[in-house]
């Protein structure tokens, strides 16, 4: 019975040892394995077996891209302005062996390397350049860190300046400068608006004057045409009146002829026709020679012409 218990205990111990020697490596992970303290190999995705008591997993490495947010670091610009800048580093482990044996504390090493690199870059820039050259600073830092961390099996994919915190006095000066700039732009926009408004008003007045002048011109033309038409109508009316008078006189003379009037009566009617034609406006009337023999009629004609 005792032998059976001892055998059972030994079997359990062997089973536990065998189970502990089985390693399953998940996706995006790697295991650095040592045998008797020396590097044996790197295990990737799948199932693996350790030699009992002589093999061990030295380090478990995550191969996914990782993000580290470092605390703000004090830096001094070229124009002696002290500010604080915190950075964010995106990196990925490409060689688990170098990562396990290249540096004792990789994250701390990256943080210190980031701080020194940032100080070197900012030291060559003035304050305004630092605030407006984030992309340039990010590119320089990524290139420097990528070269420095390559022996550690780390690839730096990206570096971002999360915050740039200048001193309080500098912040106040910047806010005042921004306020003054906004006020200047507002004044410029207001002046441009007033200028455009004045130009539009002047153009409107000009167009109105042109339209008024055109309207006056059209009115003058219409008035002249109306006056012309009036005079033509008056002239036509006077001509028609004269024509009717002459026609009436001619009809009267023809009637006298038909009635058998003598020569003196006919001459007298012709003279009356001349007087009617003069209409009291003529100062001189040329009388045919046939009518000049009637002296009494000439006197009457002269009196009628004076009236």
Q: Is the pLDDT of residue 292 over 80?
A: no
Confidence label for 3 from pLDDT (cuts 50, 70 and 90): confident
pLDDT of residue 80: 85
Q: Do strands 154-165 and 82-93 pair parallel, antiparallel, or not at all (unpaired)? A: antiparallel
Question: pTM for this structure?
Answer: 0.53
Q: Is the pLDDT of residue 306 over 50?
A: no
The CA distances from residue 224 to 28, 212, 213, 215, 233, in Å, are: 101, 18, 16, 14, 14
Q: Is the pLDDT of residue 1 over 50?
A: yes
pLDDT of residue 154: 92
List the structure tokens of 278: 């003069």
Residues 20-31 have a mean pLDDT of 88
Cα–Cα dist 207/200, whole Å? 10
Residues 17-25 have a mean pLDDT of 82
Cα–Cα dist 21/142, whole Å? 41
Confidence label for 256 from pLDDT (cuts 50, 70 and 90): low
Cα–Cα dist 3/64, whole Å? 52
Give the torsion through C-alpha atoms of 234, 239, 243, 249, to 10 deg.
80
User: Which residues have CB under 8 Å from 184's CB, separation 6+?
Assistant: none
Q: Give percent above pLDDT 70 in the chain.
A: 81
Q: What is the CATH number of domain 66-166?
A: 3.30.479.30
Q: For residue range 206-255, list pLDDT tens digits in order.
A: 888 888 888 888 888 888 888 888 888 888 878 787 777 777 767 766 76
Domains of the chain by residue range: 2-62, 66-166, 186-261, 275-307
């Amino acid at each position: 019975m005792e032998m059976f218990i001892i055998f059972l205990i030994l079997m359990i111990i062997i089973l536990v040892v065998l189970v502990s020697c089985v390693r399953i490596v998940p996706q995006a992970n790697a295991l650095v394995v040592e045998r008797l303290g020396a590097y044996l190999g790197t295990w990737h995705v799948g199932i693996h077996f350790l030699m009992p008591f002589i093999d061990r997993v030295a380090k478990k490495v995550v191969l996914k891209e990782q993000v580290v947010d470092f605390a703000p670091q004090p830096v001094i610009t070229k124009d002696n302005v002290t500010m604080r800048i915190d950075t964010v580093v995106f990196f990925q482990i490409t060689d688990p062996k170098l990562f396990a044996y290249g540096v004792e504390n990789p994250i701390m090493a990256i943080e210190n390397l980031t701080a020194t690199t940032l100080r070197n870059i900012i030291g060559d820039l003035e304050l305004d350049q630092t605030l407006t050259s984030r992309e340039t600073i990010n590119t320089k830092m990524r290139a420097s860190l990528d070269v420095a961390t390559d022996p550690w099996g780390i690839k730096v994919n990206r570096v971002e300046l999360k915050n740039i915190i200048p001193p309080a006095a500098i912040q106040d000066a910047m806010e005042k400068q921004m306020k003054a700039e906004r006020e200047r732009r507002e004044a410029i926009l207001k002046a441009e608006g007033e200028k455009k408004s004045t130009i539009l008003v002047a153009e409107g007045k000009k167009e109105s004057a042109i339209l008024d002048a055109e309207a006056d011109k059209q009115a003058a033309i219409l008035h002249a045409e109306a006056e012309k038409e009036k005079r033509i109508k008056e002239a036509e009316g006077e001509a028609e009146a004269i024509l009717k008078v002459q026609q009436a006189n001619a009809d009267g003379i023809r009637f006298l002829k038909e009635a058998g009037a003598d020569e003196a009566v006919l001459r007298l009617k012709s003279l009356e026709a001349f007087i009617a034609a003069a209409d009291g406006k003529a100062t001189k009337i040329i009388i045919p020679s046939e009518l000049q023999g009637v002296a009494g009629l000439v006197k009457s004609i002269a009196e009628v012409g004076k009236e």
